[in-house]
Structure 1
Amino acid sequence: MKASAPKPKWSDVSAISSTTKSYWAQWDSLLIQDGVLCRKWANGRGDSCHLQMVVPKAKVPDVLQLYHSGCSGGHLGVKRTLLKIRERFYWVHCRDDVEDWCRKCTSCAAVKGPQIRSRSALKLYNIGAPWERIAIDVAGPFPESESGNKYFMVVIDYFTKWPEVFAIPNQEASTIADKLVHEVFCRFGVPLEIHSDQGRNFESQIFQETCRVMGTQKTRTTSYHPQSDGMVERFNQTLERYLAKVVEKRQRDWDRHIQPFLLSYRSAVHESTSVTPAFANFGRELRLPADLITGIPPDAPRSITDYANDLRNKMNDIYEHVRQSGQQTSEKMKTRYDRKMNNKGFDEGSLVWLHNPARSKGKSSKLQAKWDGP
């Protein structure tokens, strides 16, 4: 622009780079101010116009570093970074360079992780009889109740979906083991398996020794993967929503509403079994307070022998129905889950980003994946 005041002819720039041709096409919008090449830029509404500094290609990384990675940028996304830069600077292919810089920013990638995560096929684990496998979890802390309780402990049978909930003052391993033995094992028998998350109370020596003495096997969820204990997690959400609706303003009576809720839950049809937890567990429905008001007639009396035989046959039919319904529900869940399966795993030596907020306080660490076997 210093060399020639009028706009150069096309024949003068036809053999030059496409970047130069782009600036040649905007000749009327370019000017030199204080020895710096600038570009006049009007906003989308056309009611204001200001100058943008034209950035040489060698200085583009410096601008991107300042307005994305630096304190002036805050590691914001492509759109906000691009608008911030366009208010001040211009160069050809500005958008492409901003997108590429944000995509390759290691700090952003470490926090956000990959957009497409590895997802393999869903593994099914169905149970064939009541109280063979149970799930256990502790929720809280909640406001201390008048009875001194701050947590509730949940135990659910995988087959019948029968829940047991106990309000407890603390979540120590001794408290949980005592409730489990005296309130669950002594009433329903010792299960073959107990499934829980990796809480310190469930991984403690006291709890492990309790399982060993009782002869039950202990399994655990994968770290940071609560889906592997989804049944009890979903029940916790349902119970907490109910308590939020019925507790008093001071929230000191929440533990008194647990058992009435269990009566309602145990007498409601469960989606996965198509029967109520009470019917799957006892072979009969629970008599509800509303039944006494509406006058539901009791069953006709029968002899003890006929009742025992009918109950045995009835329970066998119930168990078969629950097994079939559970299998059908599991297959539907697997079909929905496997739709997003990509079978994209890791090879030995691949770089993976591990994010542990509890240990690294929001910082990510890059580790090299190594393991034996496939």
Structure 2
Amino acid sequence: MPKGGNLRKSLIIEYHDTLWTGHQGEERTYALVQRAYYWTQMQDDVERYVCTCLICQQDKTDHQKKAGLLQPFPIPTRPWESVSMDYISGSTKVGDLGSIIVVVDRLSKYTTFIVAPKHVTAEGTSHLFFKHIVKYWGLPKDIVSDRDSCFTGVFWIELFKILGSNFL
């Protein structure tokens, strides 16, 4: 499949947007395209298109509980007492690396960018957090993050294993 032009995008549109396919998700659209065509990074192209499909975004049902009233976080009293963490993904991949973990000290706003694999696990996140944050600044009193699956209990269990804790 040639790389230039709009042929690839036209094929993805045909297998995703038409009445006979009905705006199926990323996996089903990829499976349909894969039956008849192949090109390198085809799955990434399908993922990128489906994630930006306006109709899919408007029709997506909200499965999360409604958030309560916003409350401001208390201001930390010392640097690296409280940090915020999040992921940046969707940038150009270099080998296996395709995500960036962003850690911001909430007091000084000093920011650390940690390069990570595109599909990093909670265990991998905890190892990278220890290597690039705890090693230099110590363990923060609190970490503010979204509800990403990499910031669940598995992250904390692995981090405390790295720290040598026996209370797991």
TM-score (norm: length of structure 1): 0.24
Identify the structure with the greater strand proportion: 2
The one of 142, 152, 165 aligned to 2:91:
142
The answer to whether the Cα contact below 8 Å between 2:98 and 2:116 also exists between their aligned partners in 1 is yes
Task: Give the 3 Å change call, closer, same or farther, for CA 138–119 of structure 1 in structure 2.
Answer: closer
Task: Tell me the CA shift for residue 177 of structure 1.
Answer: 1.0
Q: How far 1:168 moved relative to its partner?
A: 1.2
How far did residue 119 of structure 1 move?
8.1
Distance 1:195 1:120, change over 3 A: closer
Report the CA distance shift for 1:140/1:130 in structure 2 as closer, same or farther (over 3 A): same
Residue in structure 1 matching 2:131, options 154, 172, 182: 182
Kindly report which structure 2 residues correspond to 1:271-290, keeping only aligned pairs within 5 A, or say none.
Answer: none
Residue equivalent to 1:161: 109
CA contact (8 A) 2:104 2:112 kept: yes
CA-to-aligned-CA distance 1:217-243 (integer Å, 9 cap, x gap):
xxxxxxxxxxxxxxxxxxxxxxxxxxx
* CA displacement 1:231-272 (0-9 Å, x = unmatched): xxxxxxxxxxxxxxxxxxxxxxxxxxxxxxxxxxxxxxxxxx
Unpaired runs of 5+ residues, structure 1, are: 1-110, 112-117, 216-374
Q: Could you list the runs of 5+ residues in structure 2 that have no partner in the other structure?
A: 1-60, 62-66
Q: Which amino acid aligns with 1:129?
A: R
Number of aligned positions between the proteins: 98
Q: Distance in 1 between matches of 2:153 and 2:126?
A: 10
Residues 130 and 142 of structure 1, relative CA distance in 2, 3 Å threshold: same
Query: What's the counterpart of residue 141 of structure 2?
Result: 192
Structure 1 residue 196 displacement after superposition: 1.1
Larger radius of gyration: 1
Residue 74 (structure 2) aligns with: 125
Task: Give 3-state SS (helix, strand or coil) of 1:142's partner.
Answer: strand
2-structure distance, mates of 1:166, 1:120: 32
CA 1:159–1:201 in structure 2 vs 1: closer, same or farther (change >3 Å)? same
- In the other structure, the counterpart of 2:156 is 208
Deviation of the 1:149 alpha carbon? 1.4
Label 1:129 to 1:148 Cα distance change in 2 as closer, same or farther (>3 A): same
Give secondary structure in 2 for the equivalent of 1:180.
helix
- Contact 2:96 2:117 (C-alpha < 8 Å) held by counterparts: yes
CA contact (8 A) 2:84 2:106 kept: yes
| Superposition deviation, residue 136 in structure 1 | 1.0
Separation in 1 of the partners of 2:93 and 2:141? 34
For 1:187 and 1:122, how far apart are their aligned partners in 2? 30
Superimposed CA distance per residue, residues 125-181 of structure 1 (whole angstroms, 9 cap, x where no aligned partner): 111100101111111132312x43111111111111110001112321122111101
Q: CA deviation at 1:188?
A: 1.0
What amino acid is the match of 1:130? P
Question: What's the secondary structure of 2:129's corresponding residue?
Answer: helix
CA deviation string 1:196-226 (max 9, x = no partner): 1111111142x121344549xxxxxxxxxxx
Alpha-carbon separation, structure 2, partners of 1:166 and 1:136: 11
Moved more, 153-162 or 171-180: 171-180
Paired AA for residue 152 in structure 1 = I
Q: 1:186 to 1:144 in 2, by over 3 A?
A: same
What TM-score, normalized to structure 2? 0.50
Cα distance change on mapping 1:172 and 1:123 into 2, 3 Å: same
Paired residues of 2:127 and 2:159 also in contact (CA < 8 A): no
Indicate the SS of the match to 1:143.
strand
Distance change (3 Å), C-alpha of 1:121 and 1:138: closer
Counterpart code for 1:174: E
Tell me how large the CA RMSD over aligned residues is: 2.7
Distance 2:90 2:115 in 1: 11
Between the aligned partners of 2:88 and 2:132, the Cα distance in structure 1 is 18
